[in-house]
Structure 1
Amino acid sequence: MKKIILLLSLKSFMFYSQVGIGTTNPDPSSVLDIQASSKGLLIPRINLSTNPVANPQKSLLVWNTDTSVYSEGFYYFNGSIWKRLESNTVWNTTGNTGTSEANDFLGNIDNKSLAIRTNNITRMRIGSEVAGNSFTNVSISLNPSTSYTGSIVSANNTLDVQSGTSAANVFGIENLLYLRNGSTVSSTFRALRNRLWNVQTANYPNVVGTLNEYRGEVTAISSFKGFTNTYDFRAGSNTTEMMGFSNEFTGQINGTITNYYGFYSGIHSSLSGYTNYYGFYQPNIGTASNRYAFFYDGDDTNTKDVVVTGTGRIGVGTNAPHSNIQAEGSLSMKYDATGTATGVYNITDNNYTVRIFNQVSSINLPNPNTCKGRIYILIGSNGIAAKTITVSGGAVIYDDVSNVTINTISSGQRYQIQSDGKDWIVIGN
């Protein structure tokens, strides 16, 4: 009799293919229907790292107890890897609430880089650390697969500080690198690196390595700097070469270049309301013999050294001038002739040597108290009549040798005069 009952039970299971636990009426849509009021289903608990499941089948469900590689929780096998079931620890694409700055984060807990994609193309990669080899913090890449008529931007940083905002400091980009005691860099240490490579033959109307632009209206700025570079080297620093600004052009130039600038500085002449206006400004660098406000290193054959030392001396053909101006080679001073000019010929700061012809009626010199130290050479051309010489401001030309005041210049006369800040003094004739 028992055998008959068992046979009938098995036959009923084969007909309906349903199992009910805690119920005699399992849901028709289920294979297994478990019902309980105070108990649950206990899924197998497995350490997937130390005791992996052999030949797991797709959709196999386990509770992982490992925390070294995986995080603890429910995992299912998708046919190739174990995938964690979503829970409230997953970030919501529409925003999250109740987060903790100390515990919640985007990323992973293993030493793998994190990729951010659009159109299934990696746009940003937050790097990983390879101990003893390399370390990459953030890498941004752009590899367009088609042509574009708009803008192509690798990284765009926009900061909109609204009206009424009070801030101690505002930084568009702030980059800080620390090298601690014992750290060594065998090649190059860069706080910021910007590279632009053009390997195409296409024409580009403008190519800019770095663009720094400021626009302001009705602003009160105590100090404004387009670019500032500060070095603060402390005791014990060993530096072979230090450059506040380095700009190098290397490689081969093909085609035609209209203008080629190693350094270019332009300030709009429409500026107004300024106290001082500098195209280039070099603060005091001291008087040591090896300090230069400017140094052009010539090859000493076709080009000459041109220097401005810390003491203000200018050297041409020498990098150690012993005088305020020292030129190793020829000098050229401006030469002018009155030519066909008529009436009063006014000598200005644009003249040096002036040859006087008969067509002019007189010569007028600038006020000596406006140009102390300036030198002129006046030459009376052969055959001219005596020409009157006047001096602005009521000063005179005085010759110490003959103890006379010079009022005219005639044919065959020559005067070299210099301003003493009060009068013009004859220093040669």
Structure 2
Amino acid sequence: MKKCMVLMLAFALENNLQAQIGINTTKPHPSSIMEMVSNNKGLLIPRVSLSGNSDMTTIPNSSNSLIVYNTTIGNGMVPGYYYWSGTAARWAKVLDDLTPIVMTGWSLTGNSGMVNGTNFIGTTDNVDVIFKRNNIVSGVLNTTNTIFGVNSLATNTTGINNTAVGAGNLISNTTGSMNTAIGTEVLSNNKSGIQNTGYGYRALYSNVDGNNNVANGYFSIYSAKSTIGNVGIGASTLRELISGDGNVGIGSDALRSTVAGRGNVAIGTRAGYNVNSSGNLGNNTLIGYQAGMGIISGKSNTIIGANIIGLPAALSNTVIIADGDGNKRINIDQNGNIGVGTDTPKFPLDIRLKTSSWPLAVTSLTYYGINPDAGTAGGTPATYANYTNDIGGFNTNTSLYTEGNIISVGKLSVTQTSLFSDQRIKNIKGRSDRAKDLEILRKIAITDYVMKDEAVYGKQEFKKVIAQEVESVYPQAVSKNGTKVFIPNVYQLSKQNGSTFTFEKPIAIDEKDQQLKVYDESGEIILGIQKITPHSITVDMKGRILKGKVFVYGTEVSDVRTVDYDALSMLNVSASQAMADKIKVLEKENERLKKAQTEMQNTLEYFEKRLKALEKVN
């Protein structure tokens, strides 16, 4: 019976060994060859002492994947589980959290012991290095393009030598080459444009096929799509540009509103802010904080100085040099006229003075190179020209030369004058009729008067001629050269009601006059006249708001008469000669009469002697 039981157990064990082995379980898992179950015991792997990871003596003929627990320390071995790698012919340690990991790549927690020139990140074959974030390409190093940033150069096809650093840069680029985009969404819409450089948020954002543009700053050259050779340095420089090449804006908001135009150069914050020329127009050069503010369609201007604002929208071909407070010191208009102290020079060189008395600024002198002092607005402007020649010595120490006319509204003071009168420059018609000249001179009246412009002349009294009176008897001494000047034919404070100025005293001005000069606290202002009545003038304010009291100077006229006092002097010379001729005749007659008187006296004396002699005889 005992033998029978042993046979039955052996038969059962044989069947189990051929299938699966279960220890402490009757149902080992179908996927396992053996399953052990225990709540308080483990599997004890054989413990051996390995001499090294290539030890083949301790366990001869080790089978691939044989597991042991090594107890030896040394020769690169530490206690722990090892398995035999038949392919490598070595013992490989099973990693655990107590065993330092020996890595051959880069660690996620940093690396040390690097050797310059030996250790690097990259590839050793001709394969691009790619970086990803959230499984989106965020960096590529290849033979021609360099990319760092999510979606930068994401659609590039054949474009080469591009550099994109930052998110969304050159995201639409396909064939564009040699572009540099650093920032966020720089050159985002570029497709085929080449040689563009953008730095800053959305710089050159809209560029599609434009070339050779440089934008450095937030929204710099933001809107341009197909422009060439524009440069914007500073936030929002050339921000609105759509068409136009060769523009340069340096400084925040320089040329910001320029939609079209070419060749404009603006240096300074808000310089040329509104410039918006059309077509191929432009060529403005504006230097200084807010230089050129107000110019919109104007072209070919050169403006230097800070705070030059409020300029006419269409100002063109003008040169303005100002100080840092926006005071325009020198103005050169489109006709080449140079103005000093005036925005609207009327002559080749027009120099004017702003006085310290009311009105705030008046024309004291329009003269080449001569300036009265601002403190002499009471009627005694002192002027002096550095003209120290001998008489007729024209080329000695000449400070001023002009081939045109000189017009002075104020006093002109010089130590001497010398006028050209060479016979070789004249066609002689004959001698003047002295007697006739004397008759003309007798008809010219001398008048006592004071000037209306008291701010310049004060109450100074004059004894001179009136041009209109001279014109009626001696017209060749009076001229009207057509030059437009403002005259003080209103010259009084006004009350302003919108665009209409009203006056206490009646005004007498020509209804054809078109321009009016006024002064407020800011200085001289020129306004267009719309309507004139005996006590009011309505003007086109052009959106201006006048400050404080408004003083109305007068209107612009083109028929101001001037008197040639040299002609009057020569008339006087001729008349004096006529008088001298008459005096000479009278002197001869006087001599004759004197002689006759002497003869008569002698005769009388003779007869008196004879008479006395006769009286004695009788």
TM-score range, shorter chain: 0.3 to 0.5
Q: TM-score, normalised by structure 2?
A: 0.25
Q: Which protein shows a greater Rg?
A: 2
Q: TM-score, normalised by structure 1?
A: 0.32
